[in-house]
Amino acid sequence: LGQSIHYFEEVNSTNNVAKEIAASEEEGTLVIAEIQKGGRGRMGREWVSPHGGIWMSVILKPGIPLRHASRLTLVTGLAVANVIRNMGLDARIKWPNDVRINGKKVCGILTEAKAEVDRVEYVVLGIGINVNMDLKDIPESFRTGSTTLKVELGRHIKRVSFLQDFLLELEQQYINFKTQPFSHILNDWLALSDTIGREVKVTTPSRIIEGKAVGVTPDGALIIRKADDTKEEIIAGRCIYVRP
Ligand code: BTN
């Protein structure tokens, strides 16, 4: 991964650029920018992307059915968490894709896929990591609940070596993804997730589901046991922990 890199000082969104070029680019191509003016988060939210972060998109062509594309979000979250853990920080994953340190978000992932019938033509993994910003660099309305690697480690981080470590780790996880049963990756993901066993409230565009998170399905959907003891699987949504 990262044999070919498109670097920009400023873009609207690296995911938009990646989607424009994905059809004609090789697997593993990276789009990366110093700042994004229109950074996008999940569920139509804005993603604040000032100087000091790593804002990037990785183009993959895994040739998998579309329903398995969300698995790559878990693979990516696992890779980010592993690299941060190797720096000595206790990174955890909040379903589906927030990487957090001490309960504060340090990374978000936005996976977008294009499919022909049910086969994925390409997947764009959009990865945003708060690296060298101070909290004052993040607008106040986004600050609560966010942190940066610099704040957590108390020192400046070399973004290039972080990126090298991350690309090696993502490549390894991607090889595992293609060669091993997905249950292996899921087990590693579960070991780093702090969502299972918690009381959660998940908001989807159509409704709110409350209950206890009891597991994830092989496709990464969250399984919630509700007060009436029935279970529900949620593919995508915003998850809030009822108790911190
Ligand atoms: C989220 O947690 O809501 C996902 C945030 C994803 C942000 C990254 S930054 C690089 C890429 N380009 C975007 O516009 N978004 C993703």
Residue nearest to atom 2 of ligand 1 (CA): 108
Q: For residue range 174-224, what is the model confidence (pLDDT) as tens digits?
A: 999 999 999 999 999 999 999 999 999 999 989 999 999 999 998 889 999
Mean residue pLDDT of the chain comes to 95
pLDDT at 142: 83
CB distance 96 to ligand 1 below 6 Å: no
The Å distance, Cα 44 to ligand 1 centre, comes to: 10
Of 203, 125, 140, nearest to 170 by C-alpha is 125
CB atoms closer than 10 angstroms to residue 65? 13
The Å distance, Cα 56 to ligand 1 centre, comes to: 8
Residue nearest to atom 3 of ligand 1 (CA): 41
16-45 burial, b if ≥16 CB within 10 A, otherwise e?
bbbbeebeebebbbbbbbbbbeebbbbeee
Do residues 152 and 132 lie in contact, with contact meaning Cβ atoms separated by under 8 Å?
no
CB distance 14 to ligand 1 below 6 Å: yes
| Residue ending a domain, choose from 192, 212, 227 | 192
Range with lowest mean pLDDT among 29-38, 111-120, 157-166: 111-120
Residues 153 and 38 in one domain: yes
C-alpha to C-alpha distance for 57 and 13, rounded to whole angstroms: 9
Quickly state the pLDDT bin for 113 (edges 50, 70, 90). Answer: very high
Residues 178 and 213 in one domain: no
Residues 108 and 209 in one domain: no
What percentage of residues in the chain have a pLDDT greater than 90? 88
CB distance 57 to ligand 1 below 6 Å: yes
Residues 209 and 188 in one domain: no
pLDDT at 218: 86
pLDDT at 219: 84
Question: Cα 207–208–210 angle (5° rounding)?
Answer: 150
Residues 103 and 223 in one domain: no
What number is the average pLDDT over the span 19-37?
A: 97
CB distance 55 to ligand 1 below 6 Å: yes
**Domain with 21 in it:** 5-192
pLDDT at 236: 87
Residues 121 and 234 in one domain: no
Quickly state the pLDDT bin for 141 (edges 50, 70, 90). Answer: confident
C-alpha to C-alpha distance for 33 and 72, rounded to whole angstroms: 22
CB distance 70 to ligand 1 below 6 Å: no
pLDDT at 178: 95
Residues 188 and 203 in one domain: no
Q: Do β-strands 91-94 and 54-60 pair in parallel, antiparallel, or remain unpaired?
A: unpaired
CATH number of the structural domain spanning residue 71: 3.30.930.10
> Residue 143 pLDDT more than 90?
no
> Residue 19 pLDDT more than 90?
yes
CATH number of the structural domain spanning residue 234: 2.30.30.100
Q: Do β-strands 119-129 and 104-116 pair in parallel, antiparallel, or remain unpaired?
A: antiparallel
Residues 80 and 171 in one domain: yes
What number is the average pLDDT over the span 119-128?
A: 97
Do residues 189 and 74 lie in contact, with contact meaning Cβ atoms separated by under 8 Å?
yes
Q: Which residues pair with 199 in a beta bridge?
A: 212
Residues 212 and 122 in one domain: no
C-alpha to C-alpha distance for 21 and 24, rounded to whole angstroms: 6
Q: Which residue has the tokens 């990262």?
A: 2
Q: Which helix (H) or strand (E) holds 181?
A: none
Residues 86 and 206 in one domain: no
Q: For residue range 45-102, what is the model confidence (pLDDT) as tens digits?
A: 999 999 999 999 999 999 999 989 989 999 999 999 999 999 999 999 999 889 999 9
Test site for ligand 1: of 11, 40, 238, most ligand atoms within 8 A of the Cβ: 40
pLDDT at 140: 86
CB distance 73 to ligand 1 below 6 Å: no
Do residues 52 and 137 lie in contact, with contact meaning Cβ atoms separated by under 8 Å?
yes
Residues 230 and 148 in one domain: no
Number of structural domains (the chain) is 2
Residues 188 and 212 in one domain: no
